[in-house]
């Protein structure tokens, strides 16, 4: 196999060299020559107007004037002709062969080279396309665990699991539903944030039903070769049908099924449209008794083509959201089964401190804790390991060398994080502040405050306003303690969050009297920020909330100082220590 490959590379190099040489000769052969008589030529020689003459055995000779132009004339073929030229200081270049033959040969060689390169390119593209098709045709069902992966292996997501469990009976007994005239769902769309377990649920569905599981991603069908994506779709479904009952899982289907642009759009992707049409056709072609179900996953259901979401395609759309406190506890228990936990590890308490953690983040948390314990050669995983892992998952590794951090910067960080914690506890007693740290991380964060609101199905206007004030608490504390001229860039991320919340509250959720009930995202699209009326209103409201935040902190400045001083002393405060400062040592202001 190696020798032919080397030969092809060598041949390609030779051809490339021949083409470049031919191109150079061909360009030179295409110079415009002025045909002059021999007597005129002799006159030019005597007057010093000839720079160079190319001598050869042909009946015509070529040369170059001192002006840079070229000429052609008769060849006298006399013995002293060359001597005459040299006496007159004319450069003589002796050549051989017929120039017409050279030009013809050069042009022919050029055409052969171009043809050879075209052949190589076409051959390689054909082989690449064949490889791509072969790779998709080699997709096998993923049954290495012999259907042992079931819903019992997926913690949390109880609502999603209940919806999928019903499909197991559909797959096992399709005839049962056909008898009642019920059509089996052709497709299930799982949507939600990353890391919430969409792939695991699809795999568990196949394991529970004990059917083959074909797993691909949307990007597998996006190809540069015309028609290849559609061919891959047909190949996948043909293989699944050959297995009878099965589950086809398409992860990140938004890469394949984005909304089509239409005929009037210059940005339309014809190949993408052909691939999507092939998927729609294959899903419509399922027989009700086949027992094959297509499960797809996406983080962006809003950008999917409407044809995918209609009944008969993806009949059911199941949200797979972030786990609540009970689900987090189950997930932590599941990922702690094979880990030696110390008796001081309280998974129930940990589940309360990990709000907004996805299932993948919780698994990563326990894995990081296990790695830290193994690194230290400890017998058990304890809370110290989990605390360090928590810090790593949230903001990155702790910075080991802190000697370069100035005391002034450390003090600014302490007051900034104390501001977040103080406002979080003062705007609502239901908010929990489980941890505040001023340990810098390798990701560039100077510290963090872990503020956990109560689990709610909906957010009220007051909740959003409170969250904006919490985000502004760090900047407000900096201004109060160090002055308006000494505020820092540390609030960059906080201002981003505050802006996002106030835009949604007033421009999307319709929670402002002056802007009314319009959803400005629908009216203006992504250009909402170009409307001066909206911008002015948003600015006024966030300025008002910032002033309220400053008033709250000034009113409770003694608590702010105590939290900051304790942070400077201990670097990390837990929930008990924060509550002790706010509710026991001093009377509430």
**Inter-axis angle of helices 383-395 and 359-375, to 10 degrees?**
130
- State the sign of the Cα–Cα–Cα–Cα dihedral 158, 164, 165, 166: positive
Strand partners, 35: 72
Cα Rg of the chain (Å, integer): 38
Residues 135 and 239: beta-carbon distance below 8 Å: no
Q: Which residues contact 63 (CB under 8 A, 6 or more apart)?
A: 50, 51, 52, 53, 54, 70, 71, 72, 73
b/e burial code for range 514-544 (CB count within 10 A of at least 16 → b): ebeeeebeeeeeeebeeeeebeebbeebbee
Report how many helices (DSSP H) and strands (DSSP E) the chain contains, helices first.
21, 13
| Contacts with 70 (C-beta within 8 Å, 6 or more apart), sequence order | 31, 32, 33, 34, 62, 63, 64
The beta-strand segments (E) located in 372-495 are 432-437, 448-452
Q: Any idea of the CA torsion for 538, 541, 547, 553, to the nearest 10 degrees?
A: -90
Give CA–CA dist 231/141, Å, rounded: 19
For 431, residues 6+ apart whose C-beta sits below 8 A from its C-beta are 424, 425, 451, 452, 453, 454, 466, 470
Instruction: Assign 317 to helix, strand or coil.
Output: strand
Let me know: does 461 contact 511? Beta carbons within 8 Å. Answer: yes
Is 417 a residue of the active site?
A: yes
Catalytic residue among 132, 208, 282, 417: 417
Q: In the block, which residue shows the tokens 């190099």?
A: 13
Q: State how far the Cα of 389 lies from the Cα of 399, in Å rounded to an integer.
A: 14
Give CA–CA dist 501/417, Å, rounded. Answer: 20
What whole-number distance in Å separates Cα of residue 76 and Cα of residue 454? 106
Dist. CA 230–CA 281, nearest whole Å:
10
Interatomic CA distance for residues 494 and 420, integer angstroms = 10
Cα-Cα-Cα-Cα torsion 166, 169, 171, 172, nearest 10 degrees, comes to 160
Instruction: Report yes or no: 286 and 259 within 8 Å, Cβ to Cβ.
Output: no
Output the furthest CA–CA distance in the chain (Å, rounded). 122
Are 132 and 275 in contact by the 8 Å Cβ rule? The answer is: no
Provide the residue count of the chain: 589
CA distance linking residue 309 with residue 304, whole number of Å: 8
Pairing of strands 432-437, 70-74: unpaired
Give the DSSP H or E segment for 466: helix 461-482
- Smallest CA-to-CA distance from 543 within 489, 587, 490, 499 is with 499
Active centre residues (catalytic): 417
């Amino acid at each position: 196999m190696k020798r032919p490959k080397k030969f092809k590379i060598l041949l390609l190099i030779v051809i490339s060299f021949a083409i470049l040489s031919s191109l150079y000769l061909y360009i030179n052969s295409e110079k415009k020559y002025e045909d002059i008589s021999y007597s005129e030529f002799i006159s030019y020689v005597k007057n010093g107007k000839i720079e160079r003459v190319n001598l050869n055995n042909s009946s015509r000779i070529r040369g170059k004037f001192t002006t840079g132009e070229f000429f052609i004339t008769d060849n006298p073929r006399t013995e002293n002709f060359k001597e005459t030229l040299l006496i007159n200081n004319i450069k003589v270049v002796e050549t051989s062969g017929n120039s017409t033959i050279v030009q013809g040969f050069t042009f022919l060689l050029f055409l052969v080279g171009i043809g050879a390169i075209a052949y190589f390119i076409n051959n390689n593209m054909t082989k690449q396309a064949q490889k791509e098709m072969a790779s998709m045709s080699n997709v096998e069902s993923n049954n290495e665990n012999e259907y042992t992966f079931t819903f019992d292996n997926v913690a949390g997501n109880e609502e999603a699991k209940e919806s999928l469990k019903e499909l197991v009976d559909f797959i096992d007994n399709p005839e049962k539903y056909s008898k009642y005239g019920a059509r089996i769902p052709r497709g299930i769309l799982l949507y939600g944030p990353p890391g919430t377990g969409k792939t695991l649920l699809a795999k568990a569905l196949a394991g529970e039903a004990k059917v083959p599981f074909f797993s691909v991603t949307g990007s597998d069908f996006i190809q540069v070769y015309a028609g290849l994506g559609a061919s891959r779709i047909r190949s996948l479904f043909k293989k699944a049908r050959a297995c009878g009952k099965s589950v086809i899982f398409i992860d990140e289907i938004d890469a394949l099924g984005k909304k089509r642009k239409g005929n009037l759009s210059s940005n339309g992707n014809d190949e993408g449209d052909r691939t999507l049409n092939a998927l729609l056709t294959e899903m419509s072609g399922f027989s009700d008794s086949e027992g094959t179900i297509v499960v797809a996953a996406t983080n962006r259901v809003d950008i999917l083509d409407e044809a995918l979401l209609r009944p008969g395609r993806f009949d059911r759309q199941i949200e797979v959201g972030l786990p609540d406190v009970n689900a987090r506890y189950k997930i932590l228990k599941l990922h702690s089964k094979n880990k030696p936990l110390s008796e001081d590890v309280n998974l129930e308490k940990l589940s309360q401190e990990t709000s907004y953690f996805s299932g993948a983040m919780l698994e990563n948390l326990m894995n990081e804790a296990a790695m830290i314990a193994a690194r230290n050669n400890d017998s058990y995983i304890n809370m110290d390991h989990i605390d360090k892992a928590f810090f790593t998952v949230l903001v990155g590794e702790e910075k080991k060398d802190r000697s370069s951090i100035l005391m002034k910067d450390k003090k600014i960080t302490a007051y900034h994080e104390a501001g977040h914690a103080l406002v979080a506890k003062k705007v609502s007693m239901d908010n929990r502040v489980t941890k505040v740290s001023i340990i810098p991380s390798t990701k560039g964060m100077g510290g963090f405050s872990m503020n956990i609101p109560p689990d709610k199905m909906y957010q009220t206007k007051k909740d959003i306003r409170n969250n904006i004030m919490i985000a502004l608490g760090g900047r407000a504390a900096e201004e109060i303690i160090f002055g308006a001229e000494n505020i820092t860039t540390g609030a960059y991320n906080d201002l981003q969050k505050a802006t996002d919340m106030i835009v949604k509250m007033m421009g999307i959720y319709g929670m402002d009297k002056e802007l009314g009930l319009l959803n400005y995202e629908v009216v203006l699209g992504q250009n909402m920020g170009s409307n001066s009326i909206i911008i002015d209103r948003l600015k006024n409201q966030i300025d008002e909330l910032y002033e309220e935040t400053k008033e709250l902190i000034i009113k409770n400045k003694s608590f702010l100082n105590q939290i900051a001083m304790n942070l400077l002393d201990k670097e990390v405060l837990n929930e008990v220590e924060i509550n002790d400062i706010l509710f026991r040592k001093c009377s509430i202001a």
